[in-house]
Amino acid sequence: MKIARMLAAFVLFALLGPGSAFAQHGQKGTHEQLAIGGYCPVAYVAMNKAMKPDGKITATYQGHTYAFMNQDAKKMFEAEPAKFAPKYDGVCATAVAMGQKMESDPELFSVYKNELYLFSNKEAKAAFEKDPAMTVAKADKQWAVLSKK
């Protein structure tokens, strides 16, 4: 129930936007320094949308700094960061399945089993969506090797 209330608050504040009187700002950051191009990881998973906040509300998880639409999104992330952070450090999931690291386009994404996967191009996203279970299984095996490089 608490998560449902937080999600409802997030949706309301996301609609109002980060400039509303309700949004509070934390530390500043630039989009170049932010993970996933400055897009809000909670918006992907909770709303199935790529939303780019102003970068003033941030949190760091596993060495990556993420930006949020508002304080409620940040709180949701901080409560369960592994749920919202993109798989494979945000590199293209389909490329990882093929044993490669390739930069992703933050507007090309899929949420599969409540996890965020990013892609380098539309073809990579389409390949993933044909059989996400197979792609994830391959990518998980490959990531164990690639993440050490």
- Distant-in-sequence, close-in-space partners of 32: CB < 8 Å, separation ≥ 6: none
Do residues 130 and 62 both lie within one domain?
A: no
What was the pLDDT predicted at 149? 76
Do residues 63 and 33 both lie within one domain?
A: yes
Segments forming the whole domain that contains residue 32: 2-80
CA atoms within a 13 Å half-sphere pointing along the CA-CB vector of 20? 14
Do residues 93 and 66 both lie within one domain?
A: no
User: Which structure tokens are listed for 19?
Assistant: 């400039």
Do residues 115 and 61 both lie within one domain?
A: no
Name the pLDDT band for 148 (thresholds 50, 70, 90).
confident
Do residues 8 and 58 both lie within one domain?
A: yes
The domain total for the chain is 2
Q: How far apart are the first and last CA of the chain?
A: 41
What was the pLDDT predicted at 32? 55
- Distant-in-sequence, close-in-space partners of 114: CB < 8 Å, separation ≥ 6: 45, 83
Do residues 67 and 97 both lie within one domain?
A: no
Does the CA dihedral 76-101-122-36 come out positive or negative?
positive
What was the pLDDT predicted at 78? 97
How far, rounded to the nearest angstrom, does the alpha carbon of residue 29 sit from its chain's CA centroid?
17
pLDDT tens per residue across span 88-128: 999 999 999 999 999 999 999 999 999 999 999 999 999 99
pLDDT tens per residue across span 22-71: 222 333 444 558 999 999 999 999 999 999 999 999 999 999 999 999 99
User: Which structure tokens are listed for 34?
Assistant: 């932010």
Q: pTM of the predicted model, to two decimals? A: 0.78
Residue with tokens 């109002």: 16
